[in-house]
Amino acid sequence: MTTQTQDARQATKRRWVLVIITLLFVVAGAMYAVYFQRVLSKREQTDNAYVGGNVVTLSSQVAGTVLEIGADETQLVQAGAEVIKLDAIDSDLALAQAEAKLGAAVRQQRERYAIVAQFDASVELRKLSLKDAEEDQARRIPLAADHTLSDEEIAHARQAVTNAKAMLTVAVKQAEAARSSIAGVEIPDNPSVLTAKADFVQAWLAVRRNSIHAPVSGYVAKRSVQPGSRITSGMPLMTLVPLDQLWVEANFKESELQNIRVGQPATIEADVYGGKVEYHGKVLGLAAGTGSAFSLIPAQNANGNWIKVVQRVPVRIALDPQELTAHPLRLGLSTVTTIDTHDTSGTILGASMPGNPAYSTQALAQPMSEAASLANAIIANNLGK
């Protein structure tokens, strides 16, 4: 075989290799184009996403001095557990005073009811006095015709009738004035007694509120109170974070929001676990504005030095509670969030307010029937029943 023949064969071989490589690149490009069109173009991904959740600030409803603290940072507390205990001396004294005032109010009303009965008896007495005076006058007038009695005695009889009528009028007015404060109600329903009863219930609540309970189950994230501290009503004492109520705030660029809809599935990878753990969630809704719109100092673009900056809108993504239980997360952790935008039939705006409360707690409820029973017992004791 000549050298020229070998060179021709090698050239042909090289051409076929180049053709095959070119075809492989073309096929790979076509496959990538199809993959991009069908898959990648139907996804929106961002690494500007962080774990969010509820931060419950625990505060006191009354003022007092801290005696005990039942939980410290990083510890789990259950809803309804006593977390902080206050000194109850002042509130106990206030409750005793409220009890005494309630009893005094009942006894004062008993006195008023008795005074009304006394005035009613006085009215009857004045009526009898008027009747006697009128009868005495009627007997004396015929005797004046034959001059048996003097005109002066007749004048005294008439004056006695006039005085009796005036005294009856005074007695009636006094009875009406005394009755006006008790008319239509019994002693337990008298406004003065009800006011004292409400003060007693308020003092009873203050005693109960010296024990501060956790409104939700969660971990203590920040404690700012110490034993012996004097606190006021509404003062923040510690922060609770329920780690079973977390979500992801994914901040997408405004140019990436076109196909994002409520209800679309999403996958989340947290940096704390890496690619070993994948969370599955769904889009709950898009924020009503960009992050800069709600910042402390909003951007002022109406100036000559304006530079366009791509804005980001927070998208809230719900997480699977079972996955959170298996692999707990913490507030503020970084994540990579990918939303599948194949299905665009959902709404852009979030759902309306649900009929049931979104969040609620029964840990702070007080047995008001117990307070009412105690107050009614105090009223009954002072009524003499």
Burial 78-116 (b: 16+ CB within 10 A, else e): ebbeebbbbebebbeebbeebbebbbebbebbeebbebb
Helices of type H across the chain: 3-38, 89-145, 151-180, 191-208, 321-326, 368-383
What does the pLDDT look like over 3-33, one tens digit per residue?
Answer: 667 767 777 777 777 778 888 887 777 776 7
Residue 204 has pLDDT above 90, yes or no: yes
3-class DSSP state for residue 75? coil
Sequence-ordered list of residues with C-beta below 8 angstroms from that of 151, at least 6 positions apart, any chain: 144
Rounded Cα–Cα distance for residues 266 and 279 (Å): 8
Q: Is the dihedral of CA 288, 291, 295, 301 positive or negative?
A: negative
Contact 180, 21 (CB under 8 A): no
**Greatest pairwise CA separation for the chain in angstroms:** 187
Q: Is the pTM of this model over 0.75?
A: no
Contact 218, 243 (CB under 8 A): yes
| Both structure tokens of 45 | 């991904």
Residue 40 has pLDDT above 60, yes or no: no
| Both structure tokens of 144 | 């004046």
- Its CATH architecture, for the domain 243-295+308-353, is Beta Barrel (2.40)
pLDDT confidence of residue 115: 75
Decide which of 385 and 76 is more confident. Answer: 76
Closest CA to 249 of 368, 329, 306: 329
**Least confident segment among 204-218, 273-287, 342-356:** 342-356
pLDDT confidence of residue 344: 81
The arithmetic mean of pLDDT across residues 150-161, rounded, is 70
Rounded Cα–Cα distance for residues 240 and 212 (Å): 13
pLDDT confidence of residue 329: 93
Point out which residues pair with 104 in neighbouring strands.
none
Point out which residues pair with 213 in neighbouring strands.
82
The arithmetic mean of pLDDT across residues 76-83, rounded, is 92
pLDDT confidence of residue 39: 54
| Other Cβ atoms within 10 Å of 364 Cβ, number | 13
Q: Which residue has the tokens 């003060």?
A: 199
pLDDT confidence of residue 86: 94
Long-range Cβ contact pairs of 263-268 (< 8 A, separation 24 or more)? 263/343, 263/346, 264/339, 264/340, 264/341, 264/343, 264/346, 265/339, 265/340, 266/317, 266/337, 266/338, 266/339, 266/340, 267/337, 267/338, 267/340, 268/49, 268/317, 268/319, 268/335, 268/336, 268/337, 268/338
What does the pLDDT look like over 243-265, one tens digit per residue?
Answer: 988 999 999 988 888 888 998 99
Q: Which residue has the tokens 């007694």?
A: 193
| Both structure tokens of 357 | 């409360």
The arithmetic mean of pLDDT across residues 120-136, rounded, is 74
Q: Could you give the dihedral angle defined by the CA atoms of residues 207, 367, 57 and 322, in that order, rounded to the nearest 10 degrees?
A: 150
Question: Does domain 56-87+210-242 correspond to CATH entry 3.20.20.80?
Answer: no
Rounded Cα–Cα distance for residues 76 and 90 (Å): 31
Residue 146 has pLDDT above 70, yes or no: no
Report which residue type is found at 317: I
Q: Is the dihedral of CA 85, 88, 94, 98 positive or negative?
A: positive
| Other Cβ atoms within 10 Å of 33 Cβ, number | 10
Sequence-ordered list of residues with C-beta below 8 angstroms from that of 32, at least 6 positions apart, any chain: none
Decide which of 52 and 42 is more confident. Answer: 52
pLDDT confidence of residue 356: 81
List the 211-213 sheet strands across, edge first: 211-213, 82-86, 64-69, 230-231
Contact 319, 268 (CB under 8 A): yes
Rounded Cα–Cα distance for residues 375 and 339 (Å): 60
The pLDDT mean for the chain works out to 83
